[in-house]
Each structure stands twice: as structure tokens, then as C-alpha cells.
């Protein structure tokens, strides 16, 4: 059994980590931190964990927790203050913020607006998308868990870009449930404002844009010029990314089918399907991907649960690889379906 700590245990991603790990057969959660709730039982704040997690929140992870791996489920800019100490102690870490997703810290500073204070550990970070970086994750000391929108868009467009058939920019129309905005209430998330509406935001300026471009280029060995527009939709969980691209010439559907089947045919958590459905994947670590050719144009899609495959489930998938467990352990659960 391995001992696991969660820094930032009372946010949505921290809560989801605890839910998943509480039934994982090979780990024990030995510490969960929350400065505001230190001394409070986890199950008093997260009632779904009654009978599953018998811990109190602490301000920091105590030495008595004897952790083998830590998840940092903290806001952007906060993780880089926690990670150096963990690295010095030799504790393997999966960071769910954006602090280590870019190899060039200047890109991070431009898009996130924070000065990076831990550039020494950036080269250590492995991008935590197992479908593409599985071999690198085996010996990783630090994993940068991908963004939720980025995961969806990368899974949707990388196989297409790899063909070399894309001409010009790829337009990514992303739609996410309200849980993607975190726990803090805001005017935008107030139910009368978002309950019967679709709200575009961060048009062309969303911080997942350079993340998508960098990873697609790295995996597909081709440039991807991405124009990304996210939207808030009145559901709690789930992301749908619909991606539009012009092709260099007329392309038969079979060409795309073959390409996507080659990429994902052996993957347990990514399924190539004709009609992706958010309800098929909610509460699961699964993603569904589709690709449709229409003459000189292509439309690709990906759906996933932003809190699971888009965050905490993917982080556990990475943990499994890092600790030598079967990759799907603790995650073999279908989506709700309805």
C-alpha cells in the first residue's frame, strides 16, 4: 500500500481526488490539507465521504503521514510554492494547477500573469496526458496535470494534425459546466445569470490555448494554430470541444477513421465514436472522440468530465503509472449515461 497526501483537499479537484482514492485498492489517503478548515473532519464538509475518509484537515502534511506521493490541488501560482519542498524530500508529486505545464516559464508568465518562482523544477515536469506520454510518466518525479479544456481539445485534434492535412487555423469551440470555474461564487456563476444561457468568455485569450498548441505540436510533429473560444453552459460537469479545420484537399471519411483508430484503438479511457455524449462520460475517467470529414473540411469532437478525465481522474491515472499499478486501477467505472 502507498500513502497519499492531497494539498488543497477541499476544492472541487481535491474532493474528487479523495472520492476516487478512497476506494482505490492500493493506496491510503493519509493527509488532506486545508488552511481554512484545519482541525475539521473531512467527512463533516464532504458528506459523500462519510465512512470512506476518516481524517481531519491539517494546515500542512505532517511527517506522520509518511506520504509516497502528493497531489497539489491548489490554485495557479500557489503550487509552485509547495512543490520545491516536496521535490527536496524526494516525494513524487502530481500538480493539478498550470504552474508546470510549460517548458518555457515566460509563456506561463504571459498567459497566467504570475512570476514563476520555481523554474528549476520545470525541466523535471512531465505533461500528464497518459495516452501520449505514458513512457515518460513511469519514472516521473513531477507531473503537470493537463487543463480540462486542453485535454479535450488535444485529444480531439492531435490525430488530425498528425496527418499533415490541416490548412490554416483550427477553431475550437469549447463548452464546459459550471464546476470548471471552481468553488468560489461569482456573478457569472449566479444561477439567474447562467441557468438558461450560454456564455462565451476569454475569447482568443484563454490560458489553455498555448497549452493546446504546444502539446499538439510535440505529439503530432506539426504546428497547430488554435483559436479557442470557451463557453459556460448550464450543466454542472462535462466538457464538449468541437473543433473545425480546413483541409488541404478533399478527404474521405475512411482516412480519418483509420487515423483515429490507430491513435485510440487500444486505449481504455479514450473511445472513438460516431456521436460523443457528455452524459456517457460524466463521473468517469472516459473521453469520447469523433472525427467527420466533409470535402475539404473536418470537424472533430471530444467530450469528458472536467473533474475526472479533465482533472482528478487523469491525475490518478498518472499516479497509477508512476507507482507501478495497473493504469486503470480505481478508475474502471463507466459514465452515468443519464
How do residues 292-322 score in pLDDT, each as one tens digit?
999 999 999 999 999 999 999 999 999 999 9
Provide, rounded to the nearest whole percent, the portion of the chain with pLDDT above 90. 92
10: CATH: 3.40.50.720
Secondary structure letter of residue 37 according to DSSP: G
331 belongs to a structural domain: no
- 100 and 27: one domain? yes
Going 13 to 15 to 21 to 23, the CA torsion angle's sign is negative
List the domain range (segments joined by +) for residue 218: 149-305
* 205 phi and psi angles, rounded to 5 deg: -125, 10
- 136 and 160: one domain? no
The model's confidence at residue 32, banded by pLDDT at 50, 70 and 90, is very high
Task: Give the pLDDT of residue 192.
Answer: 83
- 176 and 223: one domain? yes
- 160 and 49: one domain? no
The whole-number average pLDDT for the span 113-130 is 97
Mean pLDDT over the full length of the chain? 96
Cell digits of residue 307 = 473533474
Catalytic residue status for 302: no
- 130 and 173: one domain? no
Q: What total number of domains does the chain contain?
A: 2
pLDDT over 80 (residue 55): yes
What is the residue-wise DSSP string for 112-178? H----S-GGGGGGEEE--HHHHHHHHTT-SEEEPPPHHHHHHHHHHHHHHHTT-EEEEEEEEEEE-G
Active-site hit among 148, 243, 302, 318: 148
- 167 and 93: one domain? no
How do residues 141-174 score in pLDDT, each as one tens digit?
999 999 999 999 999 999 999 999 999 999 999 9
The model's confidence at residue 187, banded by pLDDT at 50, 70 and 90, is confident
167: CATH: 3.30.360.10
178 or 31, higher pLDDT:
31
Amino acid at each position: 500500500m502507498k500513502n497519499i497526501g492531497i494539498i488543497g483537499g477541499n476544492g472541487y479537484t481535491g474532493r474528487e481526488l479523495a472520492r476516487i482514492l478512497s476506494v482505490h485498492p492500493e493506496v491510503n489517503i493519509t493527509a488532506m490539507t486545508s488552511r481554512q478548515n484545519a482541525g475539521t473532519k473531512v467527512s463533516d464538509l464532504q458528506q459523500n465521504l462519510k465512512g470512506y475518509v476518516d481524517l481531519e484537515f491539517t494546515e500542512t502534511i505532517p511527517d506522520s503521514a509518511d506520504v509516497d506521493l502528493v497531489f497539489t490541488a491548489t490554485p495557479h501560482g500557489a503550487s509552485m510554492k509547495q512543490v520545491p519542498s516536496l521535490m527536496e524530500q524526494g516525494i513524487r508529486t502530481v500538480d493539478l494547477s498550470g504552474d508546470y505545464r510549460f517548458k518555457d516559464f515566460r509563456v506561463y508568465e504571459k498567459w497566467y500573469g504570475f512570476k514563476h518562482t520555481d523554474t528549476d523544477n520545470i525541466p523535471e515536469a512531465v505533461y500528464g496526458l497518459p495516452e501520449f506520454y505514458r513512457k515518460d510518466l513511469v519514472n516521473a518525479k513531477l507531473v503537470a496535470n493537463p487543463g480540462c479544456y486542453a485535454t479535450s481539445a488535444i485529444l480531439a485534434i492531435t490525430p488530425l494534425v498528425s496527418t499533415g492535412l490541416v490548412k490554416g487555423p483550427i477553431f475550437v469551440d469549447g463548452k464546459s459546466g459550471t464546476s470548471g470555474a471552481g468553488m468560489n461564487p461569482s456573478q457569472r456563476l449566479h444561477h439567474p445569470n447562467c441557468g438558461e444561457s450560454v456564455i462565451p468568455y476569454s475569447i482568443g485569450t484563454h490560458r489553455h490555448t498555448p497549452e493546446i498548441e504546444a502539446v499538439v505540436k510535440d505529439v503530432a510533429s506539426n504546428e497547430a494554430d488554435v483559436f479557442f473560444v470557451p463557453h459556460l453552459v448550464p450543466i454542472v460537469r462535462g466538457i464538449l470541444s468541437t473543433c473545425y479545420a480546413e483541409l488541404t484537399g478533399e478527404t474521405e471519411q475512411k482516412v480519418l477513421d483509420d487515423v483515429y483508430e490507430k491513435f485510440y484503438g487500444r486505449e481504455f479511457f479514450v473511445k472513438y465514436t460516431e456521436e460523443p455524449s457528455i452524459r456517457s462520460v460524466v463521473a468517469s475517467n472516459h473521453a469520447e472522440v469523433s472525427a467527420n470529414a466533409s470535402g475539404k473540411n473536418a470537424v472533430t469532437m471530444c467530450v469528458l468530465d472536467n473533474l475526472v478525465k479533465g482533472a482528478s481522474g487523469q491525475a490518478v491515472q498518472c499516479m497509477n503509472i508512476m507507482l507501478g499499478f495497473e493504469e486503470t486501477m480505481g478508475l474502471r467505472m463507466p459514465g452515468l449515461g443519464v
